[in-house]
Structure 1
């Protein structure tokens, strides 16, 4: 047996390393190395692609070929004659250099075998078939095999360490560029080319004046025959489990033509497979980006949606229904219309067991064991319509409107070793409408104007109800909290309720003026504003046994159990930035000057704070090579909280988590430094990237917590 194992191991080793290396340098007739030349080897016996490479900055390449074979070597470069040579291999490596000659305009066009990877400026083109072996089903299966391309744990596509912001199909946005919908639903057999667009800019007029090095987009070119033709697939299945019948239906249909496109994706199942999670839907921005994102101001409007117990990936039972549609239409060469509709419905049953142990006995907080079951229901809908009008190269007008609506609820049954049995109900039916208007105007080759404006209206109405057991004649863990809240403690239970309403109205707009000094430098002047208004109302009440409601008066927090707060925020700012490209360096120093206005009105009082702030920022990029760079960024940011952190009245985040705010809460200031290094070596297909970040907070906004048993305030 030992001899057999040794023989088998040697056989595997011999098979694995039965290859030889062909390497060398590709030059032109002036003896200069050619960077990004394509080198491929075709197996003469099978006519298949054996190996391929792209030359690095020194013109070097390396191919791995089979021993004792015959291969046709093809070397191509833009503007050069394609070099072809038949090479036979033995058991020794080959080192050989090659020289390409300039092509003559009268030369016949030579047919070169399909090149797996082609680099043209900032565009990298992958030939999809070169990376498929027939086992791929979806686009993500192909992307995972491409050098320099990864799919992270959140389902986002990364190229050379940078997240792909948008995915297009035949140049048209696919569900507004959402990468997860594209990678998990576009069939791999329909893909011809995958184009990675580095330094991508959606507005051609701003390409030469803005820093786009972190912007990466991807365009999927479909195979011939997929245009003016419906394609896709439908997956259906049925089965049975010990508890219920199982079903699965996943229709995916696509239609593309030069003038319009239609896409439909559906997913209906109760097998636990989730096409889009609630977080995916909530983070689906529809391509909206805040105009003030680089102004130095960060205003948080808050999030009053439900904090579901599960993340929709770890549950006892999941039933999911997804229906999405996407269209694009170009009635004329200067007008593009597009939009999408998403409906997502989920039903989730979950169970969670936990034990909390407090290591410091002086806190006086008892250890707590809990068992919690939850039944969650979520219905979410999104609708977006977009129009882009570009009558000429000097004018572009874009308009978008995005509407969201949802109906979410969660029923929880909780047993606590400290508090006992508790039943909780959370419900919320929020909606929002977000509009975006952008206009770009090029006056002449040295002067460009850009207007960006965004308006948001949002309405959130969370309702909370908790039912806790109570012994009117004995002591319960919740009694002290109930007395502090001013509840009626003579009943057999505590039936707590809370209504909340948050209305948000925000305008975010800026006007940019770019003055181009020369091909290497330009000035950017920005005048912008943020105007925000939030209204917050809430009240805590107790359901009595006769069905009436009792409005308690707490014996702390000066007796405030309700909120009626109005919060107004304004920011008027002027920014100046200078951009200079010199050699390997791109320097962008700048600053912004802000006039802030904060005012909130509650409990008959007005709290106001007006001040000025100078916020510097700086970016330096060192481009060592075409695919190797180091970026250093520094910025000072001013952070402002939302209305719920200012409201003085009590708010029940949970029956054991009670909050009240501070009306004169000030802003937080932070210094942020980040360093990013990326390197993609086409010679050996190694992808290296590293990030480092440091943040120093001044007067950071934070919460103070006080425990009464396991109740937090």
Structure 2
């Protein structure tokens, strides 16, 4: 087998490097022989031109330093509250050396400044100046150099395998706590320290009462960045009229913080994505997190379409925080995003007896605005008030051209969809520490969510024959109005009783009221200008849906040794009514038990086990008992006799982290089983004389017993050996569910697994290379057939700082896609490269970016749903070469 020359280069270089290194390792303890975790071990070479090395002890007090052979080095060991030790070491051979630190009664201010990492309780502080070398551009470059910190491609941050859920700057939320906007835009040279706060709670006296695993990261700015404007500006021009401009401006002072982020481009760079949107969906304190699960408006059209053939993006975000007094903080942000895109998708859909080839071209103009105001009032250290207001508004226009081919019969349909959605959320939250044993929290929350959607279908083909009651015309014009208005009015009260340090009893009571209106109107515009309304044929909905949930629950939490256990039960009284052609009222009680256990062996090794019996109700559209058109080939009718879904949800999670062993491991296993579940049933128009119309679908909703069961697992492992980091990821998802097609009940199975293997170099004077291989295998099994898809993708990522001020980044993925059922194969390569230059102490920077370097035309993927298998080819932007100039303020 012919090997890649790069493999030999890496092997030779690693062997050469390893042979020039020696290891100093051991244990650091106190005078009572207790291990000291997170002690700092700093190695200072006698040759000042060489880099300082450091290590941090793990939970068992172990440390390890990899040093250049032959160097004379001063080893400094420091720990808060202990006298530091200095030890001279000549690195001739690997040596085990233990240290014992003596307690000190003096304040070690000088030592605190020197420490790269300090730990106080749940707070870990990184002194970033000990880790960076000046080549960093943004916050993400700084974070990547901190031990135990990872920054993913989507902008999310993890520390010791745990995700950061709140991002703060000098103690204040940055754009509502978004990590992506922070890591991608805050300049690296503004960062002084990074604090990581585990088990974070905005309300200090609630910490320890909640089971939230929130982790906050607080970016501490340098003193000289706290009283004036700083940031950067960038403008770039590329081939074929491609362009990009961006601005990141920040002002911080003790009482006022102002942040602005702006971006305009046509290179497909989408600043605001679905993941970002979810982090801006409003919020309440973690103690209420299980009580609110609003959809937050229909913004799906705005959030989709990442792969496009044309793109024009405009994004602006402004965040202002003002401390008006020692008791009152006011913060707000406004986000605007406009996306003009065009995408093209070719899809092959496999139904039970037919195959359909679709070509979709969509032009979309999507605008989104989010405004948020947050008032925080602290009358004293035992009471806290919040008043939050959030408004979201979207206006989306989509023009779609679709060509559907079935058995050599072609239908061409044009579709225009317009959506205007408004979402308003107002809540008032109160927390009171009444005494050492009793704490109270309550919230009143109101949500208004209105969606007005108009759809218009146009075709010269008889595509709707047999699907809707059309009148024969030379040109078919179909109109639909679909409006949904939802209101939620909720109140929740919680009492925390701390019987003692190890036993707590929590009581919750509340009421949630949902009011939902659902209206549809489907009609045809005839050649003479009159309207053929389908209402007389069972179309058109006008439904008022009301759901009231009165609930009370009690939870008992206790701690013994390494175990923390919480068990509880909630009783819900659901009362719902539907008013359409007739009035229907129903009422029922549901008892929902829950269980949570945490086993904390130490700060870096934990197991979490939880189980819940959960319930949910469908939205009003599934209760609407008259027809409405869903798409050019499907009609849906709800079922007013539906009841609640009921399902078991269980999960076990294990995490392990060790700096000494260079180990990061976390794994999870989740199991879900529906006891009662609502699923769509489908009836195909199999008797239609036109084969192209046999894919027409009539859907309705039905409640099934034991309709689905799923098992999901994942293992993520990272291991550092000398100057190489090895990564291994594996995941699987097995799901089986009932599906009723053409009045026949069948069991479908969906089996997927994926894995990724990678190796990353960590050499000081060598490019950071990550070389890996990943594969995804999907298998769909129905009563009629089995389909299998595989995507195999070797990849390489390069980050290289060289000469003085140059940075080179490169990523490459080769995807080998196979539809093994139809014996279809496709190979495509995606590569991007960036070369940037900034001279030390210069405000100017220059960047050359190559996007889609090999000019790939499309990406290939697949998906399954209840009754079809789709093989999809999505076309993408062509090769882009962009030169930009930046200026740092």
TM-score by length of 1: 0.91
Residue 517 in structure 1 maps to residue 502 in structure 2: no
CA apart distance, 1:589: 0.8
- Structure 1 residue 685 corresponds to structure 2 residue 668: no
Q: Could you tell me which residue of structure 2 aligns to residue 50 of structure 1?
A: 52
Describe the superposition over 1:342-379 as per-residue Cα deviations: whole angstroms up to 9, x where unpaired.
00001001111122234x44xxxx32212111101101
**Which of 309, 313, 333 pairs up with 2:306?**
313
2:225 equivalent in structure 1: 226
Aligned partner of 1:606 in structure 2 is: 583
Other-structure match for 1:674 = 651
Residue 712 of structure 1 corresponds to 697
Cross-structure match for 2:553: 575
Match of 1:342, SS? Answer: strand
CA distance, structure 2, for counterparts of residue 546 and residue 291 of structure 1: 61
1:473 corresponds to: none
Q: Within 2, Cα distance between the matches of 1:232 and 1:6?
A: 43
| Correspondence list, 1:614-629, <5 A | 614-629=591-606
- 1:139-161, Cα deviation, whole Å (9 max, x unpaired): 22232333333334543222333
- State the SS of the aligned residue for 2:384: strand
* Displacement after TM superposition at 1:186 (Å): 1.0
Equivalent residue number for residue 551 of structure 1:
533
Confirm or deny: 8 A CA contact 2:389 2:425 kept in the other structure. yes
Distance 2:309 2:70 in 1: 57
Partner of 1:414 in structure 2?
402
Aligned residue number for residue 701 of structure 1: 678
Structure 1 residues 81-96: aligned runs within 5 Å: 81-90=83-92, 92-96=93-97
Aligned to 1:155: 155
Question: The residue matched to 2:282 in structure 1 has which SS?
Answer: coil
Whole-angstrom distance in 1 between the partners of 2:363 and 2:79: 61
Alignment RMSD, CA only?
2.3
> Per the alignment, in what secondary structure is the counterpart of residue 336 of structure 2?
strand
Residue of structure 2 aligned with 1:588, choices 566, 583, 597: 566
Q: 1:169 to 1:46 in 2, by over 3 A?
A: same
The answer to whether the Cα contact below 8 Å between 1:424 and 1:465 also exists between their aligned partners in 2 is: yes
Residue 383 (structure 2) aligned to one of 380, 387, 395? 395
The residue number in structure 2 matching 1:139 is: 139
Contact 2:297 2:423 in 1 (8 A): no
Matched-pair contact (CA < 8 Å) for 1:19–1:64: yes
CA distance in 2, matches of 1:215, 1:528: 24
TM-score normalized by structure 2? 0.74
Bigger strand share? 2
**8 Å contact 2:80–2:108 — kept in the other structure?**
no
Distance 2:498 2:393 in 1: 44
Displacement of 1:193 = 1.4
Which of 253, 271, 276 is residue 267 of structure 2 equivalent to? 271
Distance change >3 Å, CA 301–CA 176, structure 1 → 2: closer
Sort the Cα spacing of 1:217 and 1:96 in 2 relative to 1 into closer, same or farther, 3 A: same
In structure 1, the residue matched to 2:716 is none
Deviation (angstroms), 1:477: 4.9
Q: Which SS does the other structure have where 2:165 is aligned?
A: strand
> Matches of 1:178 and 1:319 in 2, distance apart?
23
2:596 equivalent to 1:597: no
- Give the structure 2 partner of residue 185 of structure 1: 185
Q: Are the structure 2 counterparts of residues 7 and 240 from structure 1 closer, same or farther at C-alpha, using a change threshold of 3 Å?
A: closer
The number of equivalent residue pairs is: 681
Mapped partners of 2:600, 2:196: distance in 1: 19
**Structure 2 residue aligned with 1:247:** 243
Instruction: Specify whether residues 139 and 657 from structure 1 end up closer, same or farther in structure 2 by C-alpha distance, changes over 3 A only.
Output: farther
CA contact (8 A) 1:29 1:99 kept: yes
Match of 1:529 in 2: 511
Q: Aligned to 2:290, what secondary structure does the other structure show?
A: coil
Change (3 A) 1:31 1:425: same
TM-fit CA distance, 1:29: 2.5
C-alpha displacement of 1:300: 6.5
Q: Give SS of 2:47's match.
A: coil
Q: Which of 411, 425, 447 matches 1:456?
A: 447
Following the alignment from structure 1 to structure 2, what is the Cα–Cα distance between the partners of residues 34 and 527?
A: 44
SS of 1:336's equivalent in the other structure is: strand
Change (3 A) 1:224 1:70: farther
- In 2, distance between residues paired with 1:94 and 1:469? 83
Shift of 1:553: 4.6
Moved more, 278-287 or 516-525: 278-287
1:36-57 superposed Cα distances (whole Å, 9 cap, x missing partner): 2211111221265532222233
